[in-house]
Every structure is written in structure tokens, then in C-alpha cells.
């Protein structure tokens, strides 16, 4: 079983729609959860992080965490063509060396005008 | 601040050659990391360091070596290049377990 799993996509949504990206993780001891955006040919950049169960909102982005279901998601409201990128879910495990992240394979999102 | 810088941006190696990928950060971060990313895949941790003089293996360390003599620099050494090491290599840094900042990457091809 992989540590962190994401639907590889591609996910395609029209401009203005809500894009929903999902991630599951295998280790119940996981404590920190990150969403990175990676444009083609570029390096990953952090867009959201969440530590506690529930929702966390930042502008058009909402991260949702459900530790009981071992599930974390990212919602992008009012999707824009500039949101077209690969979104990487990353998880930090309790007890592991601080800072170590385990990445999923990423979900490719395309927002068409 | 330049953030995290990596050199070279691109490199083609022949099988069996050696090279060093350079990484420097100017944010005074104590933690530094090397990842590789194969096409369509996520990032795999090669080595990491929690401070000068301290390094440890990640998920895929075979074929690589690192050193950390200063806070700023974290070079990655490939001793005997193999085609399986064709990948994009990212260096990252963080202050403790906070946000990791990534460099622009080095695209390595081994032929």
C-alpha cells in the first residue's frame, strides 16, 4: 500500500467551476498535510497546509482534513485557467524525523476557458 | 534573497561518469533535502540534513552521497551514473518542520 495516494487524473473542469482534488494516506500517525502546486517544468510551491480536522480556507482554496477516514482534499473555487497545474499532496508522519514529507504522485488539473 | 539555488539547470552524463549537483540557500534554514522526480511521479526523498554535519538517508539513497559542511550548502554527489538516475532533482530547505522551499531543479539525463 502506497503511503500517499492521489487520483492521477487528469481532471478537467471549465473556468469558474469548483475543482476537487483528493488524497488518502495510509499512516494513522500522520499529523501534517500539505498541498503543493507544480506548473509544468517548474518546482513545487506550497499553497495550503492543514493540521486539524475540518476545513481551512485561504482565498479560493479550501483544504479539508478527516483523520478518521485518512483523507485530505483541496477544493478550488472559481477555477481559472492559471490554476492548470499538477497538485501534489504531501504528508508528514508523527514520530518520523521532523520535516520529512511523503508525496503522492500528483493530480493534473486542466481548467479550460 | 535568492531563496534556494541549484546548478546546473541541465546536464547530460555518460554511464559511469560522476558529478555533483550544487544547492545553496540563503534563508538560514537548518533543514535541507534532496528529492528526485521521475515523469508522472511524485517526489522521492534521496537524502536530508537537519543541520551542518548531520545527514541521513531518505527513501531512495542508493547511488548518491551528500555532505553538509555549512548551513547554506548541501551538494549531492553521483559517483557512477546509471540510466536509472535520469530524473529531475530538486533541492529544498525549511526551518524545522515548516514550509519547504524548493529550488528550480536540475534536469539530468544519463545516456
Average pLDDT over residues B32-45: 91
Q: Judge whether A96 is closer than 8 Å to chain B, CB to CB.
A: no
Q: Residue B89: closest CA among chain A residues belongs to which residue?
A: A43
Question: What is the reported pLDDT for B40?
Answer: 80
Question: What is the reported pLDDT for A17?
Answer: 97
In chain A, how long is the greatest CA-to-CA distance? 45
| d(CA A37, nearest CA chain B) in Å | 12
| Per-residue CA distances from A43 to A62, A85, B52, B97 (Å) | 22, 11, 25, 19
Question: What is the reported pLDDT for A93?
Answer: 75
A90-99 tens-digit pLDDT: 998 765 555 6
The answer to whether the Cβ–Cβ distance between A42 and B96 falls below 8 Å is: no
Residue A111: partners with Cβ closer than 8 Å, 6 or more residues away: A12, A13, A14, A15, A17, A19, A79, A80, A81, A82, A83, A84
The answer to whether the Cβ–Cβ distance between B102 and A43 falls below 8 Å is: yes
How does the average pLDDT of chain A come out, rounded? 90
From B40, B48, B102, residue closest to A100, measured CB to CB? B48
- What CA–CA distance (Å, rounded) separates B20 from B78? 6
Residues in A closer than 8 angstroms to B105, CB to CB, are 42-43
Q: Residue B97: closest CA among chain A residues belongs to which residue?
A: A99
Which is more confidently placed, A83 or B41? A83
- Point out the least confidently predicted range of A95-99, B18-22, B56-60: A95-99
Q: Is the pLDDT of residue A3 over 90?
A: no
A18-49 tens-digit pLDDT: 999 999 999 888 888 999 999 999 999 999 99
From B40, B97, B105, residue closest to A98, measured CB to CB? B97
Question: What is the reported pLDDT for B2?
Answer: 84
Average pLDDT over residues A55-63: 96
Residue B78: partners with Cβ closer than 8 Å, 6 or more residues away: B13, B18, B19, B20, B21, B63, B64, B85, B108
- What CA–CA distance (Å, rounded) separates A96 from A103? 15
Question: What is the reported pLDDT for A31?
Answer: 83
Residues in B closer than 8 angstroms to A90, CB to CB, are 43
What are the φ/ψ torsions at residue B69 (nearest 5 degrees)?
-90, -20
Q: Is the pLDDT of residue B32 over 80?
A: yes
The answer to whether the Cβ–Cβ distance between B102 and A98 falls below 8 Å is: no
Q: Is the pLDDT of residue B39 over 60?
A: yes
The answer to whether the Cβ–Cβ distance between B42 and A4 falls below 8 Å is: yes
Q: Is the pLDDT of residue A1 over 70?
A: no
Amino acid at each position: 500500500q502506497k503511503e500517499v495516494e492521489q487520483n492521477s487524473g487528469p481532471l478537467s473542469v471549465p473556468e469558474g467551476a469548483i475543482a476537487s482534488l483528493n488524497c488518502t494516506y495510509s499512516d494513522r500517525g500522520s499529523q501534517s498535510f500539505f498541498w503543493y502546486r507544480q506548473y509544468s517544468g517548474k518546482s513545487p510551491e506550497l499553497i495550503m497546509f492543514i493540521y486539524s480536522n475540518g476545513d481551512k480556507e485561504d482565498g479560493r482554496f479550501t483544504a479539508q482534513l478527516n483523520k478518521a477516514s485518512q483523507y485530505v482534499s483541496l477544493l478550488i473555487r472559481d477555477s481559472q485557467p492559471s490554476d492548470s497545474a499538477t497538485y501534489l499532496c504531501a504528508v508528514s508522519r508523527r514520530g518520523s524525523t521532523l520535516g520529512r514529507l511523503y508525496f503522492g504522485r500528483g493530480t493534473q488539473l486542466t481548467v479550460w476557458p | 534573497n535568492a531563496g534556494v539555488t541549484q546548478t546546473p539547470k541541465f546536464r547530460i552524463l555518460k554511464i559511469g561518469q560522476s558529478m555533483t549537483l550544487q544547492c545553496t540557500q540563503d534563508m538560514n534554514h537548518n533543514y535541507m533535502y534532496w528529492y528526485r522526480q521521475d515523469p508522472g511521479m511524485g517526489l522521492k526523498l534521496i537524502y536530508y540534513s537537519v543541520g551542518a554535519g548531520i545527514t541521513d538517508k531518505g527513501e531512495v539513497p542508493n547511488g548518491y552521497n551528500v555532505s553538509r559542511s555549512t548551513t547554506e550548502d548541501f551538494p549531492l554527489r553521483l559517483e557512477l551514473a546509471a540510466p536509472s538516475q535520469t530524473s529531475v532533482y530538486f533541492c529544498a530547505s525549511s526551518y524545522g518542520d515548516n514550509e519547504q522551499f524548493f529550488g528550480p531543479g536540475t534536469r539530468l539525463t544519463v545516456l
